[in-house]
Structure 1
Amino acid sequence: METPNETMVTEFILIGLSGHPQAQAVFFSFMLMAYLVSTLGNGLMIILIIADSNLHSPMYFFLCILSSVDFVLSNNALPETMVNCFFYMPTISFNKCLIQMYVGLSFVIMECLLLAVMAYDRFAAICRPLHYTQIMSWRLCSGLVSYCVFHSLVNTLINILWQPTNFCGRNMLNHFACELQSFLKLACSDIHLNDLYLLLSALVNVLAPFVFIVVTYGRIGLAVLRIRSAQGRKKAFSTCSSHLTVVGVFYGGIMIMYLKPQPKSSSDQDKVMSLMYGVLTSMLNPLIYSLRNREVKGAFWRVFGRKMSE
Structure 2
Amino acid sequence: MNNGNGTTVTEFILEGLSEIPELQFFLFCIFLCIYIITVLGNASIILIYKFSPNLRTPMYFYLSNFSLLEICYVSATAPKMLQNMVTGRKTIPLHGCFVQMYSVLFLAGTEFFVLAAMAYDRYNAICHPLLYSIIMNKALCIQLLCGSWVIGAANALVHTLLAYMLPFCSNKIQHFFCDVPPLLKLSCINTWINELGMFVVGGSVTGGSFILTLISYIKIILTILNIQSSSGRKKAFSTCTSHLTVVAIFYGSIFFMYLRPKSSYAMHHDRLVAVMYTIIAPLLNPFIYSLRNKDVKVAVTKILQRMAAWKY
TM-score, length-scaled by structure 2: 0.92
Match of 1:121 in 2: 121
1:171-186 to 2 correspondence within 5 Å? Answer: 171-186=171-186
Matched with 2:63 is 63
The Cα shift of 1:283 comes to 0.6
Provide the C-alpha distance between the structure 1 equivalents of 2:200 and 2:289, rounded to a whole number of angstroms. Answer: 32
Higher relative contact order (CA 8 A, sep 6+): 1
Moved over 4 A (4+): none
CA distance in 2, matches of 1:277, 1:89: 25
1:132 Cα shift? 0.5
- Cα 1:260–1:307 shift into 2, 3 Å: same
Partner of 2:76: 76
CA RMSD of aligned residues (A): 2.0
Read off the aligned partner of 1:230 and give its amino acid letter: S
SS of residue paired to 1:85: helix
- Does 282-291 or 180-189 show the bigger shift? 180-189
SS at match of 1:92: strand
CA distance in 2, matches of 1:3, 1:154: 26
Amino acid at match of 1:297: K
Moved more, 276-285 or 83-92: 83-92
Q: CA deviation at 1:41?
A: 0.7
* Segment of structure 1 superposing worse, 183-192 or 293-302: 183-192
Residue 92 of structure 2 aligns to a residue whose secondary structure is strand
Identity %: 37
Alpha-carbon distance, 1:67 to partner: 0.4
SS at match of 1:298: helix
Q: Is the 8 A contact 2:6 2:188 kept in 1?
A: no
**Aligned partners of 1:156 and 1:305: how far apart in 2?**
44
- Aligned twin of 2:213: 213
- 1:107 aligned partner: 107
- Structure 2: 5+ residue stretches without partners: none
For this pair of structures, how many residues does the alignment match? 309
**Greater mean deviation of Cα atoms: 38-47 or 158-167:** 158-167
Gap runs ≥5 in structure 1: none
Q: Cα distance 1:23–1:277, how it changes in 2: closer, same or farther (>3 A)? A: farther
Q: After superposition, where does 1:162-241 map in structure 2 within 5 Å?
A: 162-168=162-168, 170-241=170-241
In the superposition, relative to structure 1, how do residues 293 and 87 fare at CA in structure 2: closer, same or farther (>3 Å)? same
CA distance in 2, matches of 1:3, 1:77: 27
Alignment correspondent of 1:292 = 292
Q: CA deviation at 1:123?
A: 0.5
Greater mean deviation of Cα atoms: 145-154 or 19-28: 19-28
Normalising by structure 1, report the TM-score: 0.93
Aligned match of 1:42: 42
Q: Residue 6 of structure 1 contacts residue 166 of structure 1 at CA under 8 Å; is this kept in 2?
A: no
Contact between 1:165 and 1:187, CA under 8 Å: does it hold in 2? no
Q: Which position in structure 2 is the counterpart of 1:132?
A: 132
Cα separation, partners in 2 of 1:123 and 1:166, compared to 1, 3 Å: closer
Partner amino acid, structure 1, of 2:108:
V
Name the SS for the 2:13 alignment partner.
strand
After superposing the two structures, state which structure 1 stretch, 94-103 or 160-169, moved more. 160-169
Q: Deviations over 1:85-115 (max 9, x none)?
A: 1344510111111111100000001111111
Pair 1:168–1:198, CA change in 2 (3 A): closer
d(CA) in 2 for partners of 1:192, 1:4: 18
Distance 2:202 2:160 in 1: 16
